[in-house]
Chain A
């Protein structure tokens, strides 16, 4: 596609519900990243995939957070038993390189509100 797309754009969940956030990276991009952006803050790294391999998940805040990219393209970030502190914008980014740091292309984000 022309850019990184994410769905849904907005998600409201009741505390305790599970949610799944989808990211479609730029076609052919090897690297995929998830970030969490709390209100008034900059994005913070969650996890990184190179193709289907999750090479770094050090930023995931708890074991309620799980990400996958089974075929090396689309990725899903799942949050189980959502808590109010999970409310944030979740950004996905992709990059054409295989690990080397070059610019990342960001999607519009999914705004998650946990009530």
Chain B
């Protein structure tokens, strides 16, 4: 069965520190991978996506993610976190020819001033 695992429920980092949020997926076909961010009371905003090609993808707000097929991972990174990055982050997976997303349970990021 398809699944997405975000092992870290909560992460706290200091402003200016680097960030890595983990995402592992279980999928038989070539996955399409997404990272979304959700601020309190807001909908999901797409940060970046991977369909094919270069395994390091750049997104908005200075985020990037790397697809590692051998590890079934798609970790999200940011070199220097800003206080405004505090939010919940969701990894999602889909596949070519379908329309469904499978979401992870999310990682809540707290940023210390």
A87 at the interface (CB under 8 A from B): no
Known contacts A91-B44, A101-B96; decide if A43 and B103 are in contact (CB<8 Å): yes
- 12 other contacts beyond A101-B99, A106-B44, with CB at 8 A cut-off? A31-B99, A40-B106, A41-B106, A42-B92, A42-B106, A43-B90, A43-B101, A45-B101, A45-B102, A56-B99, A91-B44, A103-B46
- CB-nearest residue of chain A to B44: A106
Chain B residue contacts of A104, Cβ below 8 A: 101
Contacting residues of chain B (81-108) with chain A, CB-CB under 8 angstroms: 90, 92, 94-106
Contacts of A107 in B (CB 8 A): 43
Question: Could you tell me which residues of chain B, from 1 to 45, have a CB within 8 Å of some CB in chain A?
Answer: 4, 32, 34, 36, 41-45
State whether A42 touches B90 (Cβ < 8 A): yes
9 A-B interface contacts by CB (under 8 A): A31-B99, A42-B105, A43-B103, A45-B101, A101-B95, A101-B98, A101-B101, A105-B46, A106-B43
Total chain B interface residues with beta-carbon distance under 8 A: 26
Q: Which residues of B contact A (CB under 8 A)?
A: 4, 32, 34, 36, 41-46, 49, 90, 92, 94-106
Residues of chain A at interface, number, CB under 8 A: 24
Complexed CA–CA distance, A43 and B43 (Å): 11
Q: Which residues of A are in contact with B by a Cβ distance under 8 Å?
A: 4, 31, 33, 40-45, 48, 56, 91, 93, 95, 99-101, 103-109
Chain A at the B interface: SS class: loop
Inter-chain CA distance A41–B102, complex, in Å, is 12
Rounded to whole angstroms, the CA-CA distance of A101 and B92 in the bound complex is 12
Residue of A44, A100, A109 near B99 (CB, 8 A) is A100
Whether the pair B49, A108 counts as a contact (CB closer than 8 A) is no
Q: Please give, as numbers and ranges, the residues of chain B lying within 8 Å of A4 by CB-CB distance.
A: 43
Whether B105 contacts A108 by the Cβ 8 Å rule is no
